[in-house]
Chain A
Amino acid sequence: MSMEYKMGLFFGVLAGALAGLLFVALMKHKKVIDCHFDERQERARGQAFKYAFFTLAVAVICYGALDTIFTLPCDTLTAVFLCFCLTMVVFAVVCIRKEAYLSLYEKPGQVMMLFGVIAAFNIGIGAIYLMEGTMVENGVLTFRACNLIVGVMMLVIMGIYALHISSSGEEEAE
């Protein structure tokens, strides 16, 4: 990997992170994302954080051990993203099950639409990399798979949320 390539990668990740931060700030400003939870939700989210933390710990240890023994066919950034996405899914599942995923003022439709856009965007980029053939190089899954992984994660979270809504039958307030 040349120095130029590494610099490009570094600034690419930095630009992506900045764009992400700006996007979140804009969504917060537009009140699509809101972080006001009631006491039951805070408690449920605390439990979810606990499960997510242990999931991350186990996933990272498993990755480290497996990579040391077998040398896994994916680069470090991709593996870290996989662990991160697994953690996020665990967090989301626990929160959704305990009705604590969305805050008091968030509108499910708006949030799911936002998730859909993010998923579509990332899957689109992932598909481009896949067609270009740069996602897998020399039999190793490269960091270019991260977009696809994030896109799939968003779809999984959306699916779980939709499943929960339909299975709970939206027990109507009396």
Chain B
Amino acid sequence: MKNLRLKAARAAKDLSQQQLAETVGVSRQTINAIEKGDYNPTIKLCLAICKALDKTLDELFWE
């Protein structure tokens, strides 16, 4: 299932996938896979993404 909330939060911060990927220390393809719902990130990566986007886990990853 696509993670549109992540995509929206990233866009709201005016970050590209590449920029977010560099901030959290992963590849752009990984961010793309998370947004497309192709990859389930670990809690560690979820937290890093949340911190980078100033969001909570609930806001970005809880269904």
Contacts and interface: CB of A to CB of B under 8 A. Distances in A.
B18 A40 contact: no
B3 interface: no
A150 B26 CA distance: 31
Contact of B16 (A39, A40, A104, A173): A173
A40 B39 contact: yes
A173 B19 CA distance: 9
A142 interface: no
- Chain A interface size range: under 10
A39 B7 CA distance: 20
Contact of A173 (B18, B26, B45): B18
Given A40-B39, A104-B25, A174 B17 contact: yes
Contacts, number: 37
A99 B41 contact: no
Interface in B2-59: 7, 11, 16-18, 25-33, 39, 41-42, 44-45
A132 interface: no
A134 B29 CA distance: 46
Nearest to A40: B30
Contacts of A40: 26-27, 29-30, 33, 39, 41
17 contacts: A38-B26, A38-B30, A38-B45, A40-B26, A40-B30, A40-B33, A40-B39, A40-B41, A41-B30, A99-B27, A99-B29, A99-B33, A104-B26, A104-B27, A171-B32, A173-B32, A174-B16
Given A99-B27, A99-B29, A104-B26, 17 more contacts: A38-B26, A38-B45, A39-B26, A39-B42, A39-B44, A39-B45, A40-B29, A40-B30, A40-B41, A99-B33, A104-B25, A173-B16, A173-B28, A174-B7, A174-B11, A174-B16, A174-B17
Which 3 pairs show the lowest CB-CB distances between chains A and B? A173-B17, A38-B26, A99-B29
